[in-house]
Structure 1
Amino acid sequence: MALTAAHSSTSPIIVAGQLTLRTIRGRNGPFTIGRLTTHLGVFEVKDAELEQYPEGKYDGEFLIKYIYPRAYPTGGGMRFEIRASLDGMTLSGLDELSRDDAKSFAAQEVDPLDEEQGTQPIATSVTAPTLQATPVHASSDPLIDTTPFGMDVPSVAVAASGGPDSDDAALFGLLWPLEDSIKLDSTIDRRTLRAQIARLGELGYALDFKAQEWSREAEPQPA
């Protein structure tokens, strides 16, 4: 099938396949990219939803919204790839990423955040060590609005109150106060989503990849 432009289907298709995720550390911190292997072909996936998942190989069913070609500058040249945009997925299994799986990605990768912000993409070597996300907090500077898109929360006023939860309330918006199980909104801006993911890890939450929800890990009971 020849692809000359972004193709959007009126009825997205569901396909079985395997999604291989690779976590890379770039100038903006860790970012996650994926490769979806199906009977239709192999597609690169750069959706923000993937930011929540640890690297590995996930089996499941995937709802493909559209498939499109993408070209972008990197390393003094241009890279061309075929991407798939997902509208949902049901994951059923997880395997560790092998050394060969990791090497199968391009020698250099561009952070999707740089693409979305329209800044000059900077390729990052996939051989860079994968580190834990650096804790990120919403800014308490009244001149910086960290409210996630689509959430009508007075983040500036909350942060300025100086309360112990003010930064978290500003960061999570309508999700605050956090329940024992929560589902993040991957349609907010990617930088905010990454900050939420990093903060959830600090607060003792872990992702259940099958339920696609974050749950607070049980505290050990005293002996």
Structure 2
Amino acid sequence: MLVKAVAHHTTASFIRVVGSEFVQKYLGEGPRMVRDVFRLARENSPSIVFIDEIDAIATKRFDAQTGADREVQRILLELLNQMDGFDQTSNVKVIMATNRADTLDPALLRPGRLDRKIEFPTPDRRQKRLIFQTITSKMNLSEEVDLEEFVSRPDKLSGAEIAAICQEAGMHAVRKNRYVILSKDLEKGYKANVKKEDSNFEFYK
């Protein structure tokens, strides 16, 4: 969403792809798709190419033993080649996102390819409060609900987890045939999304 906002405020064309989409069944399809994406970006410049989950194709290179691994490395080489082909007059910018920055190939991270590395840590208390308030602003909360009770908890929550908590609270209220979300509904959503072991999944019952 942040990338979409950047594209909107710069009136640039927005091209979004997921890294895993470049990994295809037949050899050569992935590099061809990379070339097609960047050709489309140049034809519609100014444009922004956003590649999500870039770690799917840009992990550190190694001595590949299988054809699939070699194909992924060819996709990365084509991506590096396309990024090197840009100049300041091309009006094409590349933004990438990953939650595994530690696995990326150093060649991708060097200056001239990706000039800025921005980390988005989990929200602090003030930011959590704003996210809770924004998400629940369109929800029918009971007057008894105190969002500060959930904001003040020490658990590190991402924006997506906060959204999941609120969504689960709404679903719990619906299952109880209520139009108003109570504090216990939010508590249920909190426990379903935060207070659980890795192997303990909350399924609908």
TM-score, normalization: structure 2? 0.29
Whose helix fraction is larger, Structure 1's or Structure 2's?
A: 2
Larger radius of gyration: 2
TM-score, normalization: structure 1? 0.27
